[in-house]
């Protein structure tokens, strides 16, 4: 399979992304070429387990295959397993696509439970694949070679996160739709967290066959750190150094200095490659060019117009303290309409706030709402406003008139560290800094009053609101957040 740039598709959404590599000997190569992704003739399918019936809470037909995603470079194939699950009779119309599976998962049949059962009973299929590090798919050496080649050239075609993982999901779609006796074309929703939240977001942008994403602890927007803004990075380094210099308590192995070398905080769309790229001879200008090149293809907020035209559904769980989605303050300010649920103090390896919601069913409700016309819609994103008077802030949260909510709860934190910083991760919303909001029946709004501490420079706050959705007598508690808000109280 050639990796040279092909002629542009006549379909606007099926264009390929060409990258002028920084290495002198590199030629133009495509990152995601949709013509390549759609070519079922190059899947080179190896059948691991052909279609067979699997009994369980709901009987299904399942098939497991191994396919070629594509050639990273000449004669170097990248392959992944795919499982397809359809109802016992008839075709599946569309499917729920997930990549958070390991090799062992493909050595046994899937037993269907939870929302997957509801989808299958409603005629929606399931497609599983592997969006994991290449070491986890027995391709460790290829993973190292790709990583080294990416640092050498800054060509995203060699990046597992910019090319390999999105291509994995796209080729899995092509493989499923090649099974014309078992799949009819329909909606394709994706879900997952971390790399399996980031990758579906990128695929939603680039592959017009996809229609929805529910993503957790993964990037959403193009904040300055992600775009390799040199000034923003200088400010981050200075802030972190001041923070680390002030730490007196034991921080474990490596001491406080290890907080300056976090592998994710500040990364464009995943782990930070800035340090290695600069050490390899690239400039900040090169890093900015790479970030600008990939931004339109990975950040949903840079694609809102085309995503709205396609009528896609999106819902995000960024976490308030996640090292991958490390910029909720920037996002709340610049993209207040993004549909998000912020679990307080949540993120990779974090312990949620003691008053965080229990039993939320956002993903199940989201998938049911997306696939079934008779299901209720997910809750709308509310607006938030505030009034600062003396030592108090009055917060008001409102929903559209036809979108009632059942509850309101607010959390706040003083002097939180800047986005992407060690302090951002380590300083949690205090256990006592929360309250249930009051419903103002006359104004149809939720309100709360926060008493300010003396001497604080800024305050961050957000609220969560429950709306219980019912589908076929089952109830699904859903929660949506108001935009994360930061108020400067004194001059910086």
Q: Specify if 443 maps to a domain.
A: yes
Tokens standing for residue 168: 């994995």
Query: Do 386 and 318 sit in the same domain of this protein?
Result: no
Query: Do 131 and 199 sit in the same domain of this protein?
Result: yes
Last residue of a domain, one of 306, 334, 362: 334
b/e 177-195 (16+ beta carbons within 10 angstroms → b): bebeebbeebbbbbbbbbb
Query: Would the pLDDT of 377 be above 60?
Result: yes
Give the pairing type, strands 458-471 and 474-481.
Answer: antiparallel
Give mean pLDDT, residues 27-32.
61
Least confident range of 3-17, 33-47, 206-220, 423-437: 3-17
Tokens standing for residue 290: 């790479």
Q: In whole numbers, what is the pLDDT of the chain averaged over residues? A: 92
Query: Do 138 and 227 sit in the same domain of this protein?
Result: yes
pLDDT number for residue 123: 98
E-strand stretches of 119-260: 125-128, 183-193, 212-216
pLDDT number for residue 254: 62
Query: Do 388 and 309 sit in the same domain of this protein?
Result: no
Q: Specify if 411 maps to a domain.
A: yes
Q: Specify if 375 maps to a domain.
A: no
**Which CATH number do you get for residue 464?**
2.60.40.10
Count up the domains in the chain and report the number.
2
Q: Is 90 left (phi over 0), alpha (psi -120 to 50) or beta?
A: left
Q: How confident is the model at residue 23 (pLDDT cuts 50, 70, 90)?
A: very low
Query: Do 169 and 230 sit in the same domain of this protein?
Result: yes
**Which CATH number do you get for residue 72?**
3.40.50
Could you give the CA distance from residue 463 to residue 466 in angstroms, rounded to a whole number? 10
Give mean pLDDT, residues 308-329.
98
Query: Do 68 and 208 sit in the same domain of this protein?
Result: yes
pLDDT number for residue 136: 87
Q: Specify if 348 maps to a domain.
A: no
Q: How confident is the model at residue 492 (pLDDT cuts 50, 70, 90)?
A: low
pLDDT number for residue 15: 39
Residue ranges of the alpha helices (H) in 29-139? Answer: 34-38, 114-121
Query: Would the pLDDT of 381 be above 90?
Result: yes
Query: Do 398 and 458 sit in the same domain of this protein?
Result: yes
Q: Specify if 27 maps to a domain.
A: no
Domain that holds residue 459: 381-488
Per the model's pLDDT, the better-predicted residue between 73 and 333 turns out to be: 333
Least confident range of 11-15, 65-69, 437-441: 11-15
pLDDT number for residue 1: 25
Least confident range of 55-59, 89-93, 484-488: 55-59
pLDDT in tens, 327-366: 999 999 999 999 999 999 999 999 999 999 999 999 999 9
pLDDT in tens, 433-476: 999 999 999 999 999 999 999 989 999 999 999 999 999 999 99
Q: Specify if 386 maps to a domain.
A: yes
pLDDT number for residue 248: 73
Nearest to residue 129, comparing CAs of 151, 97, 157? 97
Q: Specify if 97 maps to a domain.
A: yes
pTM assigned to the model = 0.93
Query: Would the pLDDT of 375 be above 70?
Result: yes
| Residue 266: partners with Cβ closer than 8 Å, 6 or more residues away | 225, 226, 233, 236, 272, 274, 326, 420
Query: Do 321 and 429 sit in the same domain of this protein?
Result: no
Asked whether the beta carbons of 350 and 376 are under 8 A apart, the reply is no
Q: How confident is the model at residue 31 (pLDDT cuts 50, 70, 90)?
A: confident
Last residue of a domain, one of 276, 305, 334: 334
Could you give the CA distance from residue 251 to residue 247 in angstroms, rounded to a whole number? 8
pLDDT in tens, 242-285: 999 988 776 766 667 788 889 999 999 999 999 999 999 999 99
Q: Specify if 3 maps to a domain.
A: no
pLDDT number for residue 24: 33
Query: Do 172 and 261 sit in the same domain of this protein?
Result: yes
Query: Would the pLDDT of 148 be above 90?
Result: yes
Last residue of a domain, one of 334, 353, 373: 334
Query: Do 136 and 58 sit in the same domain of this protein?
Result: yes
Asked whether the beta carbons of 386 and 396 are under 8 A apart, the reply is yes
Query: Do 410 and 281 sit in the same domain of this protein?
Result: no
Query: Do 328 and 393 sit in the same domain of this protein?
Result: no
């Amino acid at each position: 399979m050639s990796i040279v740039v092909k002629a542009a598709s006549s379909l606007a959404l099926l264009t390929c992304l060409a990258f002028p590599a920084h290495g002198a000997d590199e030629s133009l190569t495509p990152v995601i070429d949709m013509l390549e992704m759609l070519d079922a003739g190059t899947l080179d399918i190896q059948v691991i387990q052909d279609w067979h019936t699997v009994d369980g809470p709901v009987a299904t037909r399942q098939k497991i295959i191994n396919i070629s995603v594509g050639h990273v470079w000449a004669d170097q194939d990248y392959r992944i397993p795919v499982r397809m699950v359809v109802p016992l009779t008839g075709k599946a119309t569309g499917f729920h696509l997930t990549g958070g599976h390991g090799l062992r998962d493909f050595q046994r049949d899937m037993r269907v439970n939870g929302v997957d059962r509801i989808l299958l009973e409603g005629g929606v299929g399931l497609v599983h694949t592997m969006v994991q590090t290449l070491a986890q798919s027995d391709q460790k050496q290829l993973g190292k070679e790709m990583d080294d080649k990416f640092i050498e050239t800054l060509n995203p075609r060699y990046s597992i996160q910019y090319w390999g993982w999105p291509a994995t999901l796209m080729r899995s779609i092509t493989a499923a739709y090649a099974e014309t006796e078992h799949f009819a074309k329909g909606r394709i929703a994706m879900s997952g967290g971390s790399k399996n939240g980031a990758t579906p977001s990128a695929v939603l942008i680039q592959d017009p066959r996809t229609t929805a994403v529910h993503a957790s602890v993964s990037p959403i927007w193009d904040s300055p750190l992600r775009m390799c803004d040199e000034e923003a990075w200088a400010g981050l380094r200075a802030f972190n150094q001041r923070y680390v210099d002030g730490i007196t308590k034991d921080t474990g192995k490596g001491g406080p200095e290890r907080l300056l070398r976090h592998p994710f905080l500040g990364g464009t769309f995943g782990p930070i490659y800035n340090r290695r790229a600069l050490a390899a001879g690239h400039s900040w200008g090169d890093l900015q060019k790479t970030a600008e090149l990939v931004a339109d293809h990975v950040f949903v907020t840079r694609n809102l117009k085309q995503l709205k035209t396609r009528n896609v559904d999106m819902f995000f769980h960024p976490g308030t303290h996640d090292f991958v989605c490390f910029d909720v303050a920037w996002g709340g300010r610049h993209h207040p309409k993004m549909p998000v649920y912020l679990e307080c103090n949540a993120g990779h390896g974090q312990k949620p706030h003691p008053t965080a919601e229990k039993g939320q069913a956002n993903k199940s409700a989201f998938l049911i709402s997306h696939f079934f016309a008779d299901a209720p819609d997910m809750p709308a994103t509310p607006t938030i406003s505030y009034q600062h008077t003396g030592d108090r802030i009055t917060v008001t949260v409102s929903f559209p008139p036809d979108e009632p909510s059942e509850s309101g709860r607010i959390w706040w934190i003083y002097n939180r560290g800047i986005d992407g910083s060690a302090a951002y991760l380590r300083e949690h919303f205090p256990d006592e800094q929360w309250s249930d909001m009051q419903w103002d029946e006359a104004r149809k709004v939720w309100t709360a009053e926060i008493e300010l501490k003396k001497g604080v420079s800024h305050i961050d706050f957000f609220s969560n609101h429950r709306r219980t959705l019912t589908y076929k007598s089952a109830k699904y508690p859903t929660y949506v957040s108001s935009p994360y808000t930061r108020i400067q109280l004194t001059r910086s």
